[in-house]
Structures are given as structure tokens and as C-alpha cells.
């Protein structure tokens, strides 16, 4: 990258007010920012020269001082079931050894994009391929937003047509609430009608349970919340999801119910990966139901997706279905997630990207590399 390119402002991820201030700083009228927003987030155009309702002089000036730069595609894979996975080089200064993964899951009437918030993850959940790769760094707001922008462009969204990406879930690589400072403005842009204009019910943030950030999230935004629970008691969750040693289940659930009250949400989804002989027994479903019954909660049972070097096995189908049926019989809504993209390692828990030069390899017994400030 040249020195000139390195100093350009990446317009992806700027809030509408920030983009307006940037345009005004160039001596232009504020309405030029609205024109830029239409080109960027309604037409998915990244070339200033193609923005024909902007003056020629402004287009030339923007090319000098700004850019619309999404993550760079390293590779792209298509599953037999229509799922698509991109391996992306996030930052311009990252080598190819640092990469994230983004997954698009097409369904009838909607398209869900699973995006990453960090290069790797420090939380070290025992059954997750991302955690096994370690942690390198947080993504910037532009890098988070850029995944959704790039997917829309690659999938052919445009003005006058149906959008390809109708739902965004922060369930890819990383713990979103550990990168709160960059994730929050990305959420705002997903919801803003001048940005991606998504319904709050079509944007979902998934967390392993950073309790202080759940309380803060309730003050700062209003999106759907999913919680990676995976165990019905502290002893087992301590083993599977180590952050539980800091924020045990009772504390986590109290934060979840507060989030529902503060946001008038429909329900919270609790994700529960099904591990053969580990957390899938009848006593576990009874314990789980006792935790959640009477609350606006639903359970999404996830068949474990294996990856090399992991000791767990997927629960048999009949065990998963019996677990679901027992929860439903006890008044807790439970469904089984359909596995998608496992032939290209794009299924839940399989995203690994490329993570080297780790600042933190594992959470282990130390609670480090987790950004908890606002």
C-alpha cells in the first residue's frame, strides 16, 4: 500500500453524522453525504467514479482522500446446500496468515449472514474451532460492517431488487461483547434507515456471557440477543465455557432477564450445542428447563460439528430429538438447528479462519485479552 492510500479515510463504518462531517470538511454541502449513503448502502457501489450524481470535482477529490474498502477476499467456497463461505483478509496491514471467515446461509424468503467480530477468540470454549485457533486482535467497525457490505455486493443486491442479506448474526469468529467499542457503532449502522436499514429483530448478537456488557447493551441498542449457554449447571459450564468462572449461570440469567425488560424484547435464544454423553442426558434437560421455564426464552439445540483435534462427538439424532421433546413438554420452547455448510467447514463452531502471531492463545485460567470497557 502506498503512503497516499494508507492515509485515505475508509467510509465504511462511518456513522451518517460522521460521514456528513467528513463531506463538510471537504467544503461540500451536507446533502452530499446522503447521496454517498445511497450509493454505498442501497446500491453497494464502491467506485466513486460510478456515483454519477456527484460532481466530477468531488468524485476526484473523494478518490484522493477516501475509499470504500471492505475486507479482501482470500478464498470463496460454496456448499452443496447453497451456503457460501468467504475467507477474508480483514486489515490492509494484515498478512494472509491473519484472516476471518464470513458465512452466508440462504433460506426460503431470507438470507442470513454470519459475521465475525475478532480475528480469533480468547474465550476458549471447549467445543469451538475458533477458540482453538487463539486470538490475534479486535476488528474495527469498518471491518465488521465491510463483511455485510461485501456480501451484499457479491450476492448481487442492488436498487430495485430484493436484498440478498436480510438477517445479520454476530455469531462468527470472536466474542462480540469483548469488542464492544467497535461492535456498537456497527449495530447502529445495520439498523439505521440511512445505512443497512435492517429491523432490530433481524440483527442478532451472540455472546458467551460477558455480563457487564449485556447490561450496557440494554442501554445502548436494541437487537436480538442469543446466549451461548451449553450447560445447565455451573460445574459443567465451567468446563465447556470458561467465562462462566467469572460470570456463573445465575448472574448471567439475571442479566438476560434485565435485557428483556429493558428492551421489551420478544425472547432470548439460548444456544446449546449437543455433545454426546456430556450435556445431553435427561437430567440435563430437566435442569435446563428449571432454569428457563416461565421466562421469554427459547432453546436452539445445535448438533455438534466436529473439527480436527477435538475430543467431543455429536449427540445421536434420537438423543437430540428426545432432549428437545422433553424441554417442550416442560414448557420451554426448543428447536433443533439444521446443520448447514458442514461440507465446507462453515457450520456452527467450525469457523477457524487463519490466526497466527497470537497476542493470547487461550483463556485458560487467566481472564485476559477481553476488552470490557465501553
- 123 and 270, same domain (yes or no): yes
- Calpha distance 141→91 (Å, rounded): 11
Q: Is residue 362 part of a domain?
A: no
Q: What is the pLDDT of residue 153?
A: 92
Query: What pLDDT digit, counting tens, does each position of 68-116 carry?
Result: 999 999 999 888 888 999 999 876 565 556 789 999 999 888 999 999 9
Domain that holds residue 288: 72-344
Per-residue confidence (pLDDT) for residue 370, from 0 to 100 = 39
Write out pLDDT tens, residues 174-216: 999 999 999 999 999 999 999 999 999 999 999 999 999 999 9
Claim to verify: residue 94 and residue 157 sit in the same structural domain: yes
Return the CATH number at 216. Answer: 3.20.20.70
- 18 lies in the same domain as 157: no
Q: Does one domain contain both 32 and 89?
A: no
The band of 374, judged by pLDDT with boundaries at 50, 70 and 90, is: very low
Q: What is the CATH number of the domain that holds 17?
A: 1.10.150.530
Catalytic residue, chosen from 114, 121, 125, 348, is 348
Least confident span in 51-60, 105-114, 356-365: 356-365
Mean pLDDT of 328-355: 68
State the alpha helices, DSSP H only, in the chain. Answer: 3-6, 16-25, 31-41, 56-65, 129-133, 141-154, 180-191, 211-220, 234-240, 249-263, 282-292, 317-329
Could you tell me if 194 and 289 lie in one domain? yes
User: Is residue 348 among the annotated active site residues?
Assistant: yes
Q: Is residue 355 part of a domain?
A: no
State pLDDT tens for residues 212-252. 999 999 999 999 999 999 999 999 999 999 999 999 999 99
Does residue 84 share a domain with residue 42?
no
Q: How many domains does the chain have?
A: 2
Catalytic residue chosen out of the listed positions 20, 101, 143, 271:
101
pLDDT-derived band at 4 (thresholds 50, 70, 90) equals low
Q: Is residue 162 part of a domain?
A: yes
Question: What's residue 291's pLDDT?
Answer: 98
18 and 78 belong to one structural domain: no
- Mean pLDDT of the residues in the chain: 87
Amino acid at each position: 500500500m502506498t503512503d497516499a492510500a494508507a492515509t485515505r479515510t475508509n467510509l465504511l463504518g462511518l456513522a451518517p453524522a460522521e460521514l456528513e462531517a467528513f463531506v463538510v470538511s471537504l467544503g461540500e454541502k451536507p446533502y452530499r453525504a446522503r447521496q454517498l449513503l445511497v450509493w454505498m448502502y442501497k446500491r453497494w457501489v464502491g467506485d466513486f467514479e460510478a456515483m454519477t450524481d456527484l460532481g466530477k470535482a468531488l468524485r476526484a477529490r473523494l478518490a484522493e482522500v477516501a475509499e470504500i474498502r471492505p475486507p479482501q477476499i482470500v478464498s470463496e467456497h460454496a456448499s452443496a446446500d447453497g451456503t457460501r463461505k468467504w475467507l477474508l483478509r480483514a486489515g490492509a496491514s494484515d498478512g494472509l496468515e491473519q484472516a476471518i471467515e464470513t458465512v452466508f446461509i440462504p433460506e426460503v424468503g431470507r438470507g442470513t449472514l454470519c459475521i465475525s467480530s475478532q480475528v480469533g477468540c480468547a474465550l476458549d470454549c471447549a467445543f469451538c474451532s475458533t477458540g482453538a485457533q487463539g486470538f490475534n486482535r479486535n476488528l474495527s467497525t469498518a471491518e465488521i460492517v465491510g463483511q455485510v457490505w461485501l456480501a451484499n455486493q457479491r450476492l448481487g443486491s442492488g436498487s430495485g431488487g430484493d436484498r440478498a442479506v436480510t438477517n445479520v448474526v454476530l455469531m462468527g469468529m470472536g466474542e462480540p461483547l469483548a469488542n464492544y467499542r467497535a461492535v456498537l457503532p456497527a449495530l447502529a449502522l445495520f439498523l439505521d434507515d440511512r445505512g443497512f436499514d435492517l429491523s432490530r429483530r433481524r440483527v442478532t448478537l451472540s455472546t458467551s456471557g460477558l455480563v457487564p456488557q449485556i447490561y450496557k447493551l440494554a442501554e445502548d441498542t436494541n437487537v436480538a440477543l442469543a446466549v451461548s449457554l451449553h450447560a445447565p449447571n455451573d460445574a459443567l459450564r465451567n468446563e465447556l465455557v470458561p467465562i462462566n468462572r467469572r460470570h456463573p449461570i445465575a448472574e448471567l440469567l439475571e442479566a438476560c432477564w434485565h435485557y428483556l425488560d429493558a428492551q421489551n424484547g420478544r425472547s432470548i435464544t439460548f444456544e446449546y450445542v449437543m455433545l454426546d454423553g456430556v450435556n445431553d442426558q435427561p437430567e440435563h434437560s430437566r435442569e435446563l428447563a428449571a432454569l428457563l421455564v416461565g421466562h421469554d426464552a427459547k432453546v436452539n439445540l445445535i448438533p455438534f460439528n466436529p473439527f480436527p483435534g477435538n475430543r467431543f462427538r455429536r449427540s445421536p439424532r434420537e438423543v437430540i430429538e428426545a432432549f428437545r421433546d422433553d424441554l417442550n413438554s416442560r414448557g420451554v420452547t426448543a428447536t433443533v438447528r439444521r446443520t448447514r455448510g458442514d461440507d465446507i467447514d462453515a457450520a456452527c463452531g467450525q469457523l477457524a479462519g487463519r490466526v497466527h502471531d497470537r497476542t493470547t492463545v487461550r483463556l485458560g485460567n487467566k481472564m485476559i485479552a477481553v476488552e470490557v470497557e465501553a
